[in-house]
Amino acid sequence: MSIPTTLPDATEQAKVAVQAAIADGILRLQVEMAIPELKHQPIAEQFLEIFEGKQFKVFFPDAGSAALARRDWDNPAFVIRGLGELIEPIEPDDEMYLVVNPSSVEVQQVETLCNNATDRPVVLLNPKLEDVAVVGIGYAARQLRDRFLSQIETCYYLRPIDSAAVYRCYPGPWQIWRETAPDEYEWLQDLATRPSGEDIDRILYGDSTTDDASDTANKPDGEKPRKKGLLAELQQFLRALSQ
């Protein structure tokens, strides 16, 4: 499947990826479209057709955003609530759950929901569950990743970066694409797992990560090797702190 160039195309691809993942028995899955100024409620509304014919609940981070969705969606028959708003969010007849844009503030509530949902799918739409400022670093953060976050399958991912994009559409591999012209991309490489900052820099810019005089001397016309990108440096710093 080719990388999309419009938000409607990306949304349709994400819906197909979610359905394919659920059909394969994946119960904890997430969709990440890291697009600036993305409005989460309209995207969530388009995802509702995945749940047609099922008994399901939709959860937002808080009661206010849930009430806004109920109003904008004309008070539908299915349950729309904020995380933590219901005393018993899990009911025996529930078949699926959609959680819209949860943040690291709600990570414990999301984990509890997933644990209590047992064999029912939970779809996380554009979550931001791992914020170092909230979750922290070190042992506690590693526990959270090992216990919960690592169990979530990213079935759809689209993140534009500088003149490129990181992309995954289940069941396909992770991919790096380079922008060649406005709304035009070329595929560069498949990866088995989510690429790190170093992976992205290596694929886009080559292996050179230092500005060394001897390296410069070996470059044609004194060309300097490209330095490691800011994203890679930041991820390396955070990994060092969490050891």
Q: What is the pLDDT of residues 184-224, one digit of tens each?
A: 999 999 999 999 989 999 999 886 444 443 343 344 444 43
Let me know if residue 116 belongs to a domain: yes
Let me know if residue 2 belongs to a domain: no
Let me know if residue 65 belongs to a domain: yes
For residues 234 and 147, state if they share a domain: no
Tokens 């990570």 sit on residue: 107
Q: What is the distance between the alpha carbons of residues 150 and 226, in angstroms, rounded to a whole number?
A: 32
DSSP-derived letter for residue 54 is S
Backbone φ, ψ for residue 95 (5° rounding): -115, -30
Domain of residue 19 covers 7-191
Let me know if residue 168 belongs to a domain: yes
For residues 110 and 228, state if they share a domain: no
For residues 212 and 107, state if they share a domain: no
Let me know if residue 33 belongs to a domain: yes
Query: 137 pLDDT exceeds 50?
Result: yes
pLDDT in the model for residue 207 = 61
pLDDT above 90: percentage of residues in the chain: 65
Whether the pTM exceeds 0.85: the reply is no
pLDDT in the model for residue 209 = 44
Query: 240 pLDDT exceeds 70?
Result: no
For residues 174 and 206, state if they share a domain: no
**Residue 16 belongs to a domain with what CATH number?**
3.40.50
Average pLDDT score over the chain: 84
- What total number of domains does the chain contain? 2
pLDDT band at 62 (very low <50, low <70, confident <90, very high): very high
Q: What is the distance between the alpha carbons of residues 161 and 203, in angstroms, rounded to a whole number?
A: 13
Query: 76 pLDDT exceeds 70?
Result: yes
Q: Which residues contact 74 (CB under 8 A, 6 or more apart)?
A: none
Strand pairing report for 56-60 and 96-100: parallel
Number of H-type helices and E-type strands within the chain: 9, 9
The DSSP annotation for 130-150 comes to --HHHH-SSHHHHHHHHHTGG
Q: What is the pLDDT of residues 13-56, one digit of tens each?
A: 999 999 999 999 999 999 999 987 789 999 999 999 999 999 99
